[in-house]
């Protein structure tokens, strides 16, 4: 009974929990492939002073923070209840607690490739603890796409900007992106600094393309719901936008103007601006069919 009361007190944040101590943590693997379909990531915890691995309360252990560069995100990824082990895993004559975390949850929280600081926290002997390890997140799954630019625009004259670490645009318009984010991200094509195409690439989609249609979809997206749709609804929302007739009309007109002048998106004509407004209103009318989390932004 005493043990049960102790655990319940910890879970409800009893005021008797002392200030945080520092633990040594090691996350395996050191290099995490964001495209991997594995089940677990392993955490090894060397208990802080005044605590032993046996005294760490497993159901309080969780990944609590993710830092990429200067961006810090608070998360809650609890350790699995099993398997759990205590042994001298790193052969330093000090036993560590071994726990497993769901790999897909951690990969989703990280999102983009890069150096990542991962913090693990928990409770031991009525004292909270935390420790941080640095891992490298990569995404070496290649993402293929086709570039279909407006008439007169040659791939060799185009510069690609994206969140991918490596990319290649061939003269026949085949685009390859490597080490890219796992969530939808923007790819921008420019000529002499002028954007001629904006495309949301979806890593889970079978095919992506750079085209006037996808540019129209992206422009309308920026104009209406970019910051209003939860990440897990982005793909569904983009597909709905592609099916709106007014977006197709905008795409055709955009292609015609870009073929005449590559700065058409920077200094849009009155006709282009009107078609963007028409498409944005139509898209908002369609997107209200999304779940309640979406709140339309009528232009």
Domain ranges in the chain are: 10-138, 143-287
> In angstroms, rounded to a whole number, what is the distance separating the alpha carbons of residues 264 and 180?
29
3-state secondary structure of 200: strand
Q: How confident is the model at residue 20 (pLDDT cuts 50, 70, 90)?
A: low
> In angstroms, rounded to a whole number, what is the distance separating the alpha carbons of residues 95 and 3?
23
The pLDDT value recorded for residue 179 is 83
DSSP count for the chain of H helices, then E strands: 6, 17
The pLDDT value recorded for residue 9 is 37
> In angstroms, rounded to a whole number, what is the distance separating the alpha carbons of residues 176 and 279?
30
Question: Quick check: 99 pLDDT over 60?
Answer: yes
Q: Specify which residues 28 forms β-bridges with.
A: 42
- Residue 29 has phi, psi (to 5 degrees) of -85, 155
Question: Quick check: 4 pLDDT over 60?
Answer: no
Residue 254: CB atoms within 10 A of its CB come to: 24
Lowest mean pLDDT among 5-9, 61-65, 110-114, 241-245: 5-9
The pLDDT value recorded for residue 10 is 38
pLDDT tens-digit profile of 229-273? 666 677 788 888 899 999 999 999 999 999 999 999 999 899 999
Query: CB of 109 within 8 A of CB of 77?
Result: yes
Percentage of residues in the chain with pLDDT exceeding 70?
87
Q: How confident is the model at residue 1 (pLDDT cuts 50, 70, 90)?
A: very low
> In angstroms, rounded to a whole number, what is the distance separating the alpha carbons of residues 232 and 251?
26
If one compares 6 and 119, the residue with the highest pLDDT of the two is: 119
Length of the chain: 299
The pLDDT value recorded for residue 190 is 95
> In angstroms, rounded to a whole number, what is the distance separating the alpha carbons of residues 185 and 158?
19
131 CB-near residues (< 8 Å, 6+ apart): 22, 23, 24, 25, 45, 46, 48, 119, 120, 121
Question: Quick check: 228 pLDDT over 70?
Answer: no
Query: CB of 114 within 8 A of CB of 135?
Result: no
> In angstroms, rounded to a whole number, what is the distance separating the alpha carbons of residues 299 and 280?
7
If one compares 214 and 234, the residue with the highest pLDDT of the two is: 214
Q: How confident is the model at residue 299 (pLDDT cuts 50, 70, 90)?
A: very low
pTM above 0.85, yes or no: no
Query: CB of 173 within 8 A of CB of 155?
Result: yes
Nearest to 269, CA basis, from 245, 253, 283, 281: 253
CATH number of 10-138: 2.60.40
pLDDT tens-digit profile of 266-294? 998 999 999 999 999 998 888 777 665 55
Nearest to 158, CA basis, from 192, 208, 185, 201: 192
The pLDDT value recorded for residue 237 is 81
The pLDDT value recorded for residue 35 is 78
Query: CB of 113 within 8 A of CB of 165?
Result: yes
> In angstroms, rounded to a whole number, what is the distance separating the alpha carbons of residues 198 and 214?
7
Lowest mean pLDDT among 37-46, 113-122, 224-233: 224-233
pLDDT tens-digit profile of 142-198? 889 999 999 999 999 999 999 888 899 999 999 999 888 877 889 999 999 999 999
Query: CB of 161 within 8 A of CB of 195?
Result: no
DSSP at 205? S
Alpha helices in 44-142 (DSSP H): 103-110
Sheet strands (E) in 55-126: 62-68, 71-78, 85-87, 96-102, 114-124
Q: How confident is the model at residue 37 (pLDDT cuts 50, 70, 90)?
A: confident
């Amino acid at each position: 009974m005493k043990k049960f009361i102790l655990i319940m007190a910890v879970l409800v944040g009893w005021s008797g929990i002392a200030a945080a101590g520092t633990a040594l943590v090691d996350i395996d693997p050191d290099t995490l492939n964001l495209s991997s379909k594995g089940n677990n990531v392993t955490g090894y915890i060397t208990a802080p002073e005044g605590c032993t691995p046996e005294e760490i309360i497993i159901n309080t252990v969780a990944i609590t923070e993710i830092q990429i560069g200067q961006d810090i995100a608070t998360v809650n990824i609890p350790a699995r209840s099993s398997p759990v082990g205590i042994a001298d895993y790193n052969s330093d004559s000090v036993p560590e607690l071994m726990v497993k975390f769901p790999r897909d949850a951690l990969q989703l929280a990280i999102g983009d490739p890069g150096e990542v600081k991962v913090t693990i926290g928990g409770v031991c002997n009525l004292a909270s603890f935390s420790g941080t390890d640095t891992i490298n997140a990569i995404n070496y799954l290649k993402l293929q796409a086709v570039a279909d630019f407006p008439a007169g625009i040659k791939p060799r004259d185009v510069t690609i900007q994206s969140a991918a670490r490596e990319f290649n645009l061939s003269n026949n318009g085949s685009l390859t992106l490597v080490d890219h984010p796992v969530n939808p991200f923007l790819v921008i094509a420019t000529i002499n600094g002028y954007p001629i195409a904006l495309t949301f690439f979806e890593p889970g989609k079978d095919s992506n393309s750079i085209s006037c249609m996808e540019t129209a979809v992206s422009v309308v997206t920026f104009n209406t719901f970019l910051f209003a749709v939860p990440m897990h609804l982005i793909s569904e929302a983009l597909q709905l936008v592609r099916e709106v007739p007014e977006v197709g009309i905008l795409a055709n007109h955009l292609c015609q103007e870009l073929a005449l002048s590559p700065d058409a998106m920077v200094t849009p004509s009155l006709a282009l601006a009107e078609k963007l407004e028409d498409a944005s209103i139509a898209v908002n009318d369609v997107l209200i069919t999304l779940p309640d989390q979406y709140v339309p932004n009528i232009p």
